């Protein structure tokens, strides 16, 4: 477990940013994953007083503060109406209600964890992150970056017309996923996002136009095969690489047919 020498509730993002420039200091989100690490933190920087715990919905977008809990995502009617329940499906089996009341969107996205349901589902959307110094950048671009000392302020999800399906397979209900899979249709573009490979989620677009003529059982199978071939997998205690590759094909086909209303 980590040890913490000093705790500071930042009074501004600038104060948090300045404190975060020291490698010995760290921003705490839900602190659920961080706490299991080792080492010593000189100053734990808490953003809890900065008003980043709300989801603001406009006609164009959802603006999700970094300190919004996964439980808030799960219960937000507007977000789940727009995503067809995909966001709720992505977080509902993350440990338990108590855990989801603590785990934050900012911590989940910032961590770019290999097991993340949260990163997987939002990569299927027209999503962006707002960084304190780095401005607004696409989530996909952020996910590919290495961690630095900037601060993730909020996640922005544009209400681009689209449809979303999320599914995952777990060995046990509240465990990490063995494979996480989100499939979407956004402005005519189809994409699949595969998480828990067990590496960081990756986006596979329908570059070959396999779904261009519409979703049928055959085209869904073809797309699923394409996604499985393009997605590197690995083995860990939960599953082998071969099993994961098989699951990618199965879950992508299922999610795609559901997306097509079949």
Partner 1 sequence: MEIKLTLNDKAITGHIEADTVLLDFLRAQGCYSVKRGCDTSNCGLCTVLLDGKPILSCSMLAARADGHSVQTLEGLQEEAAEFVGFLADQGADQCGFCNPGFVMNTIALLRENPDPTDGEIRAFLAGNLCRCSGYDGQLRGIRSYLNSRKG
Residues that bind partner 1 (CB under 8 A): 2-7, 28, 30-32, 35-36, 44, 46, 48, 71, 92-93, 95-99, 101-102, 173-174
Beta bridge pairs of residue 170: 177
Nearer to partner 1, 115 or 223 (CB): 115
Closest distance of CB 9 from partner 1, Å: 8
Closest distance of CB 53 from partner 1, Å: 11
Residues 6+ apart with CB under 8 A from 238: 171, 175, 176, 178, 198
Between CA 28 and CA 79 the distance in angstroms is: 25
Helix, strand, coil percentages, rounded to 5, for the chain: 35, 30, 35
User: Is 256 in contact with 220 (CB distance < 8 Å)?
Assistant: yes
Task: Report the half-sphere exposure of 178 (CA within 13 A, side-chain side).
Answer: 20
Closest distance of CB 57 from partner 1, Å: 21
Between CA 61 and CA 146 the distance in angstroms is: 27
Between CA 83 and CA 66 the distance in angstroms is: 19
Between CA 130 and CA 154 the distance in angstroms is: 5
Closest distance of CB 243 from partner 1, Å: 24
End-to-end CA distance of the chain: 48
Closest distance of CB 99 from partner 1, Å: 6
Closest distance of CB 21 from partner 1, Å: 19
Nearer to partner 1, 27 or 139 (CB): 27
Nearer to partner 1, 96 or 209 (CB): 96
Nearer to partner 1, 176 or 223 (CB): 176
Nearer to partner 1, 7 or 209 (CB): 7
User: Beta 55-57 vs 152-158: how paired, if at all?
Assistant: unpaired
Nearer to partner 1, 94 or 224 (CB): 94
């Amino acid at each position: 477990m980590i040890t913490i020498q000093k705790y500071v509730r930042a009074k501004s993002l600038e104060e948090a940013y300045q404190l975060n420039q020291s490698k010995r200091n760290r921003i705490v989100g839900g602190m659920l994953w961080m706490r299991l690490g080792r080492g010593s933190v000189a100053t734990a920087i808490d953003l809890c007083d900065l008003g980043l715990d709300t989801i603001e919905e406009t006609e164009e977008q959802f603006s999700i503060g970094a300190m919004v809990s996964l439980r808030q995502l799960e219960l937000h009617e507007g977000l789940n109406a727009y995503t067809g329940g995909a966001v709720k499906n992505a977080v509902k089996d993350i440990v338990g209600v108590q855990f989801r009341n603590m785990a934050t969107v900012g911590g989940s996205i910032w961590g770019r964890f290999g097991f993340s349901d949260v990163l997987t589902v939002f990569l299927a959307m027209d999503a962006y992150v707002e960084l304190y110094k780095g401005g607004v950048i696409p989530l996909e671009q952020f996910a590919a970056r290495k961690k630095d000392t900037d601060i993730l302020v909020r996640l922005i999800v544009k209400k681009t017309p689209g449809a979303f399906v999320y599914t995952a397979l777990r060995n046990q209900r509240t465990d990490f996923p063995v494979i996480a899979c989100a499939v979407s249709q956004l402005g005519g573009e189809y994409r699949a996002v595969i998480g828990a490979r067990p590496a960081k989620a990756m986006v596979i677009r329908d570059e070959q136009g396999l779904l261009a003529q519409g979703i049928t059982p055959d085209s869904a199978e073809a797309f699923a095969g394409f996604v499985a071939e393009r997605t590197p997998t690995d083995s860990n205690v939960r599953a082998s690489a071969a099993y994961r590759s098989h699951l990618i094909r199965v879950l992508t086909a299922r999610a795609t047919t559901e997306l097509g209303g079949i």
